[in-house]
């Protein structure tokens, strides 16, 4: 599959891509920035915040739900105004938000991690119709949060374990069983962000491996995409659901690595043979 540069902006830690309202939104976590660009635009629009933000969902009224190091926020891309909806680890200066995604029951999952990668400092939370609940504790690097097409199965990883976990979800989107291992990527690479396509397969970015892999719902590998960035972070489907975007990171790369992968930190796009799914809306309250 051919991969091209969608946006060359060199993010220190590009993350959280989300296609909404004709534009791709993505974050540069370490620089506290949110970027947005429509296909065909000359350049991206950028907002700079006073704390780190990392993930987003779409609200029914067209505004966005943003996750930051202190909570979940309502954000207007039109005015730049934001309002905190709920605090998430706001009293813990060690952690920040990382990977997150809306589920198909109207909830939003957000993982946290230590700002310096502190072991077991983070958690995975779910916000659903006004209720915030911790689902997983003692997480070092939360990633790969995504959901089956019918919403009855969820996925996540603690990247350093190299294991993608899965569990059944009830009709309201809460875990209905203990999590189990979907696939162990010990011989493949560290799993970062992931998204599911229309067949329920996961596209998983592999940190440090300059590629992404497709994992079937039964846990078997089914193809890969080579990417021009050493550290891809997270995929998202575009408006046509056949274009797959990938964010990437530049942090920690030495001169040799940047010479080999000069567009690291940019956003890339490719066409995939299996269409994705529209991102569900986050319902804040009944």
Q: Encoding tokens for residue 136?
A: 């997983």
Taking every pair of Cα atoms in the chain, the longest distance, rounded to a whole number of angstroms, is 53
Beta strand 122-128 pairing with 267-271: unpaired
Backbone angle region of 12, left / alpha / beta, with phi > 0 → left and psi within -120 to 50 → alpha: alpha
> Which candidate, 100, 139, 101, 96, places its Cα nearest to that of 121?
139
Q: Encoding tokens for residue 218?
A: 């039964």
Phi, psi angle pair for 256, to nearest 5°: -65, -45
Q: Encoding tokens for residue 109?
A: 């999952």
Catalytic residue among 7, 28, 103, 192: 192
Please state, in angstroms and rounded to a whole number, the distance separating the CA atoms of residues 214 and 212: 7
- Whether residue 192 lies in the annotated active site: yes
Q: Give, for 256, the enclosing helix (H) or strand (E).
A: helix 255-260
> Which candidate, 220, 184, 176, 178, places its Cα nearest to that of 201?
220
Which residues carry out catalysis? 192
């Amino acid at each position: 599959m051919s991969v091209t540069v969608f946006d060359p902006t060199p993010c220190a830690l590009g993350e959280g891509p989300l296609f909404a309202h004709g534009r791709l939104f993505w974050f540069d976590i370490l620089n506290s920035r949110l970027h947005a660009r429509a296909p065909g635009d000359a350049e991206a629009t950028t907002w700079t915040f006073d704390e780190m933000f990392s993930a987003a969902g779409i609200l029914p009224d067209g505004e966005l739900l943003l996750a930051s190091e202190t909570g979940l926020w309502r954000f207007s891309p039109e005015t730049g105004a934001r309002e905190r909806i709920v605090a998430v680890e706001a009293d813990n200066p060690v952690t920040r938000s990382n990977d997150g995604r809306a589920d198909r029951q109207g909830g939003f999952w957000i993982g946290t991690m230590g700002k310096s990668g502190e072991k077991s400092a983070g958690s995975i939370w779910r916000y659903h119709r006004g209720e915030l609940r911790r689902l997983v504790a003692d997480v070092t690097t939360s990633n790969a949060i995504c959901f089956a097409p019918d919403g009855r199965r969820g996925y996540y990883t603690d990247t350093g374990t190299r294991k993608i976990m899965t569990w059944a979800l009830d009709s309201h989107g809460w875990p209905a069983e203990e999590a189990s291992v979907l696939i162990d990527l010990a011989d493949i690479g560290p799993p970062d962000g992931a998204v599911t396509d229309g067949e329920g397969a996961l596209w998983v970015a592999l940190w440090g491996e300059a590629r992404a892999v497709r994992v079937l719902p039964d846990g078997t590998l089914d193809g890969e995409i080579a990417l021009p960035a050493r550290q891809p972070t997270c995929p998202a489907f575009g408006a046509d659901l056949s274009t797959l975007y990938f964010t990437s990171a530049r942090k920690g790369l030495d001169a040799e690595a940047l010479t080999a992968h000069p567009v690291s930190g940019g956003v890339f796009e490719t066409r995939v043979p299996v269409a994705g799914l529209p991102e569900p809306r986050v319902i804040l309250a009944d």
